[in-house]
Structure 1
Amino acid sequence: MTMTTETRRDFLKASLASGFALAVQPVAATTLQTDSTGLTAGMVQIGPLPAYRAMPAAATGPLPTVIVIQEIFGVHEHIQDLCRRLAKQGYLAIAPELFYRYGDARQYADVDSLIRELVSKVPDAEVLADLDAAAAWAASQGGDPQRLAVTGYCWGGRITWLYAAHTPKVKAGVAWYGRLVGPTNPNTPRQPIDVASQLKAPVLGLYAGQDKGISLESVAQMQAALKAQKQSFAFQIYDTAAHGFNADYRPSYSPAAAQDAWKSMLAWFKRYGV
């Protein structure tokens, strides 16, 4: 049976609490679990868009807001956990399920099929519009629209760069090992290096020296493009870490790199008033 957008959305609403994506199981023993004590956390609906939200339960005023952009595996347990970690730091964290029109990333058992059959079908323009909707929803639910940040992981790291060029509402961005250069097509017409001159917010890039998919040469190309445009940016390279070093549920996890990068992200947000 072919799933309609409405049926797929309802399925995702029911499955947002279902744990980790099939393609990443079994999860590693290093997996971190952040409880929801003191938080308001769970699935929300932004029009047709499912999302996971976490925020302090006892907030007394508008909260700094972080949009958390998923990996290719969707808003599975790891992304939800990151939202809870941010909420423990006083943020309203919102992670929209950006693939919902096309399928559920958590139900794919292998990465190649996931990329070919789902991720490649998602247009950047649609993603950016959904992130705008998430930002607007957060502002209506206790978030401070003047203190909006964005962070993303892997696929979401690339989108973080694009979103920082898309809207001046973002005050700071942190991109975790997101692709910077590469081929384009109608769904992905521009790469981060192509929007280097259009960044509207300072972005911190967190990258791995042993990343087999994102070369240090591409990082250097992005750095040069940003310097030429006099954009505010910074990069931190973790020489011995691999791609996905923050993914505590996978073998790629590097505790030292992940912990240092997390502190750097929070400091970057504070530096720019988020």
Structure 2
Amino acid sequence: MDRVDAEAQCLLSPINHTLSRRMFAMTTLAGGFALSTLPVSAQTITTPTDGLVAGEVSIPVEGGSLPAYRAKPAGKGPFPIVMVVQEIFGVHEHIKDVCRRFAKEGYLAVATELFARQGNAASFTDTGALIRELVNKVPDAQVMADLDATAAWAAKDGGDISRLGITGFCWGGRTTWLYAAHNPKLKAGVAWYGRVTSAPTELQPMVPVNLVQKMNAPVLGLYGGKDGGIPMADVERMQKALAAVNSRSTFHVYPDAPHAFHADYRPSYRPDNAKDGWKRCLEWFRINGV
């Protein structure tokens, strides 16, 4: 076993077997956008695949395999790895495009459909029902293990596991904070408007603000000052908790931005904030070895 395979194997953590014995609800990615996000904005960005290897792949996990979207530069590599974590709406066209944007910057980017065991987010027409009936039923332990499997797979697909990063949006932003406290191999994370405080549940007991002492890698938080779902008081509480342990993690807040300001397919999109956030994201990864 070579060094890359050995390090990749170290990322595979045990998962509670009761989480993996259910039938997988999704075996391929949904096309287009989630029904609950329609209509799609005319500002939606589409990144071409020229010079890239891009498309759907399958990630082996406990109990089966998960569909995912991978984009990387054409060529041998190895390439630094960025795991892109979905919003509550699943791995749809915007998340796939974010992978292509990273690939254009020289990364192997992969977005795994982390709801695949529980259901298809794209089929829901009501956001409230989507959260109650699907998102809230996805265990934190399952997500962490599936991301470990994704990282290990990427290392065998031309990725450099010693340069591993993660970024996520909304639900994926919270997941980014959690994964930074989970994987000691992680180099850096970028969390876009993910919750940092919440009431723990049986399936989702992990709360970012309670995990600051366990952080293995620095996280850049990109947040909107007018986010209706994430009060600035929560952000300030997280900032204080990080400062108390001398963490290198930090925040950048866009005072007039709402939630989902990077989502160019939605009315919440703020082009200037999204462009600046993307620049900060890339710089954060580069200065932290991703």
Partner of 2:68: 51
Query: Displacement of 1:9 after TM fit?
Result: 2.9
Report the Cα distance in structure 2 between the residues aligned to 1:132 and 1:106, rounded to whole angstroms. 24
Matches within 5 A, 1:180-191: 180-191=196-207
TM-score (normalizing by structure 2): 0.90
Distance 2:262 2:81 in 1: 21
State the TM-score, normalized to the length of structure 1. Answer: 0.95
Q: Which position in structure 2 is the counterpart of 1:21?
A: 34
RMSD of Structure 2 on Structure 1 (CA): 0.9
DSSP 3-state at the match of 1:166: coil
1:117 aligns to 2:98 (yes or no): no
What does residue 231 of structure 1 align with? 247
**Which of residues 85, 103, 122 is equivalent to 1:87?**
103
Amino acid at match of 1:261: G
Q: Give the C-alpha shift of residue 187 in structure 1.
A: 1.0
For residues 177 and 32 of structure 2, what CA distance do their matches in structure 1 show?
28
**Other-structure match for 1:141:** 157
Q: What is the CA-CA distance between 1:155 and the residue it aligns to? A: 0.3
Q: Tell me the residue number matched to 2:274.
A: 258
C-alpha displacement of 1:35: 1.1
**1:30-61 per-position Cα deviation (integer Å, ceiling 9, x unaligned):** 11111111111111111211111000112x33
TM alignment of 1:53-68, pairs within 5 A: 53-58=70-75, 60-68=76-84
Q: Which whole-Å deviations, capped at 9, do the CAs of 1:48-76 have from their partners, x for residues lacking one?
A: 11111000112x33100000000000000
Percent identical: 56
Out of 209, 227, 244, which is 1:211 matched to? 227
- For residues 211 and 203 of structure 2, the distance between their equivalents in structure 1, rounded to whole angstroms, comes to 16
What is the aligned partner in structure 2 of residue 5 from structure 1?
Answer: 23
Provide the rounded CA distance (Å) in 1 between the counterparts of 2:213 and 2:131.
Answer: 29
Letter in 1 for 2:47: T
Gaps of 5+ in 2: 1-21
Note the alpha carbon deviations across 1:117-166, whole angstroms, 9 max, x for none. 10010000000000000000000110001000000000000000000000
The letter for the 2-side match of 1:127 is: V
Report the secondary structure of 2:211's partner residue.
helix
1:32 aligned partner: 45
Matched, 1:196 2:209: no
Runs of 4+ with >4 A deviation: none
Q: Secondary structure, in 3 states, of the residue corresponding to 1:205?
A: strand
Between stretches 76-85 and 44-53, larger displacement belongs to 44-53
- Opposite residue 235 of structure 2, the aligned amino acid is V
Runs of at least 5 residues in structure 1 that lack an aligned partner in the other structure: none
Task: Tell me how far apart the structure 1 counterparts of residues 97 and 123 of structure 2 sit (CA, whole Å).
Answer: 19
SS of 1:9's equivalent? coil
Shift of residue 188, structure 1, vs aligned partner: 1.1
The equivalent of 2:263 in structure 1 is 247
Aligned length: 265
Q: Aligned to 1:240, what secondary structure does the other structure show?
A: coil
CA contact (8 A) 2:26 2:120 kept: no
For residue 54 of structure 2, what is the aligned residue in structure 1? 41
